[in-house]
C-alpha cells in the first residue's frame, strides 16, 4: 500500500529473547504461571525493551482535544462547547484525567489539536491547533491531506518531547465531542462489521438519538464509498478528528521508538486499530487496558484479538481507563525485577 503520510520504521519485537525472559519468570519463587496476566505483561514489556530487567521511567500522558464537524448533525447529546470548557477545566486540575495522572505519577500534556475555540492564551494548554474543528464528513472529508499530514506529525513531535524527558511509557487520551461517530465508522470499516452494530449511545444518547445517529452515519459512509477509493489512509482522513489522527501519529511513533503504548477506551481503541491497519507491527508495543461501557467496544477489541486488563464499565475517555490500569502494568515489572527466584530464596523448585 502506497501512503502519502509520513513513513514509520516499526519492527515486530525481536522474539529471540523470549525464551530467556520466560525462563526468568518461571524461575521466580511461585508456582509456574500463578501470576497470570502479570507474567504475560512482563514478557511483553521485556520484549519491547529487549531486556530481562525492564523499567517504566517517566510515564507521559497526552490529552488531545479536537472538535468534529459531524457534531452539527446532532449525533451527540453534548454540545461542542463542552470540548473547550473541559480543556480549560483540565488546566485547573479538575478532570478525571488530572486525578489519575497525579495518583500514578504521569506527566500530563494538554494539547489543542483542533478545538473550535481560541485557547491560545490559556496557560497549561499546548497550542498545536490545525483548524477550529474538522469539516462535516456527512458531506465531505473531515480534513485535507495537508491537515492529515500535520496531525500525524504533531503526534510524532509530541512523543519526541516526551522521549527527550526520558519517557518509556506513553498514554494517549482524547477530548472531543462526537468522536464516537468516526470511531464507530472506523470499527465498521476496519473490522468488517455492519455499521448498525458499531453505534452506541456515546455520551448518553437516548433511543431516538441513537436511531438518528445511525441514519446520519449510514449516509456519511454511503457518500464516502461513492466518492473515495477505500484505503486505510483515506478512511482515517475522511472521518477522523484532529485529536484522533494526532493520536495515531503518537502511537506509531511510540512504537517506532520502543515505548510501551497504553491504549484507552472506545475512541483510542479505534485509533489503535487504525494504526495497526497501517503498521501491523505496532500492536506488539500496545497494551489494551480496559473494555469500556460503550456499545461494541468488546467487539472492537476482538478485531485485533486484544485482551483488556480491566472491565470497569468506564466510558469517560480522556485516557482514564489506561491510567487506572497502570498499577497492574507496574506490578508486572516489579514482579520480574524484585521477586526472589527459587535459588536465592532457597526453596526447592518443584516443577
| Cα–Cα dist 128/231, whole Å | 27
Range 322-345 burial, b when 16+ CB lie within 10 A, else e: bbbbbeebbebbebbeebeebeee
Range 109-132 burial, b when 16+ CB lie within 10 A, else e: bbbbbbbbbebeebeebbebbbbe
Residue labelled with grid coordinates 501491523: 280
For residue 310, what is the DSSP state? B
338 is an active site residue: no
- For the chain, the straight-line distance linking the first and the last C-alpha, in angstroms and rounded, comes to 49
- CA–CA distance from 65 to each of 24, 77, 241, 264 (Å)? 42, 18, 9, 15
| Cα–Cα dist 350/98, whole Å | 46
- Residue 104 sits at the vertex; the CA angle it makes with 32 and 335, to the nearest 5 degrees, is 15
For residue 7, what is the DSSP state? P
| Cα–Cα dist 30/347, whole Å | 10
Nearest to 175 by CA among 100, 92, 86, 246: 86
Q: Give the contacts of 241 (CB within 8 A, at least 6 positions apart).
A: 66, 67, 68, 114, 134, 142, 174, 176, 179, 182
Catalytic residue among 165, 233, 318, 338: 318
| Cα–Cα dist 3/145, whole Å | 11
For residue 106, what is the DSSP state? P
Residue labelled with grid coordinates 506490578: 331
- CA–CA distance from 177 to each of 81, 82, 96, 185, 328 (Å)? 8, 7, 16, 16, 30
The three grid cell numbers given for residue 348, joined into one nine-digit string? 526447592
The residues that are catalytic are 318
Amino acid at each position: 500500500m502506497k501512503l502519502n503520510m509520513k513513513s514509520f520504521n516499526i519492527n515486530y519485537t525481536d522474539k529471540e529473547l523470549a525464551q530467556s525472559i520466560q525462563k526468568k519468570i518461571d524461575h521466580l519463587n511461585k508456582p509456574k504461571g500463578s501470576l497470570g496476566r502479570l507474567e504475560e505483561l512482563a514478557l511483553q514489556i521485556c520484549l519491547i525493551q529487549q531486556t530481562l530487567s525492564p523499567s517504566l521511567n517517566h510515564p507521559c500522558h497526552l490529552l488531545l482535544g479536537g472538535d468534529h464537524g459531524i457534531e452539527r448533525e446532532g449525533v451527540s447529546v453534548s454540545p461542542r462547547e463542552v470540548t473547550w470548557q473541559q480543556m480549560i477545566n483540565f488546566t485547573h486540575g479538575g478532570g478525571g484525567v488530572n486525578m489519575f495522572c497525579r495518583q500514578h505519577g504521569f506527566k500530563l500534556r494538554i494539547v489543542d489539536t483542533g478545538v473550535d475555540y481560541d485557547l491560545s492564551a490559556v496557560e497549561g494548554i499546548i497550542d498545536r491547533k490545525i483548524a477550529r474543528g474538522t469539516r462535516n464528513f456527512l458531506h465531505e472529508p473531515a480534513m485535507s491531506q495537508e491537515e492529515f499530514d500535520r496531525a500525524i506529525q504533531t503526534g510524532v513531535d509530541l512523543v519526541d518531547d516526551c522521549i527527550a524527558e526520558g519517557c518509556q511509557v506513553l498514554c494517549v487520551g482524547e477530548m472531543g465531542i462526537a468522536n464516537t461517530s468516526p470511531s464507530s465508522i472506523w470499527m465498521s470499516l476496519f473490522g468488517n462489521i455492519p455499521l448498525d452494530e458499531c453505534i452506541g449511545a456515546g455520551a448518553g444518547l437516548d433511543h431516538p438519538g441513537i436511531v438518528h445517529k445511525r441514519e446520519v452515519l449510514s449516509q456519511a459512509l454511503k457518500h464516502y464509498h461513492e466518492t473515495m477509493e477505500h484505503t486505510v489512509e483515506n478512511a482515517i482522513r475522511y472521518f477522523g478528528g484532529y485529536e484522533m489522527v494526532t493520536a495515531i501519529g503518537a502511537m506509531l511513533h511510540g512504537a517506532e521508538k520502543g515505548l510501551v503504548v497504553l491504549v484507552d477506551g472506545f475512541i483510542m481503541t479505534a485509533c489503535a486499530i487504525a494504526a495497526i491497519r497501517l503498521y501491523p507491527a505496532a500492536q506488539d508495543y500496545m497494551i489494551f487496558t480496559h473494555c469500556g461501557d460503550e456499545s461494541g467496544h468488546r467487539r472492537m477489541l476482538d478485531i485485533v484479538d486484544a485482551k483488556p486488563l480491566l472491565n470497569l464499565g468506564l466510558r469517560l475517555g480522556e485516557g482514564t481507563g489506561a491510567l487506572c490500569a497502570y498499577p497492574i502494568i507496574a506490578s508486572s515489572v516489579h514482579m520480574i525485577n524484585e521477586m526472589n527466584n527459587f535459588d536465592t530464596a532457597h526453596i526447592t523448585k518443584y516443577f
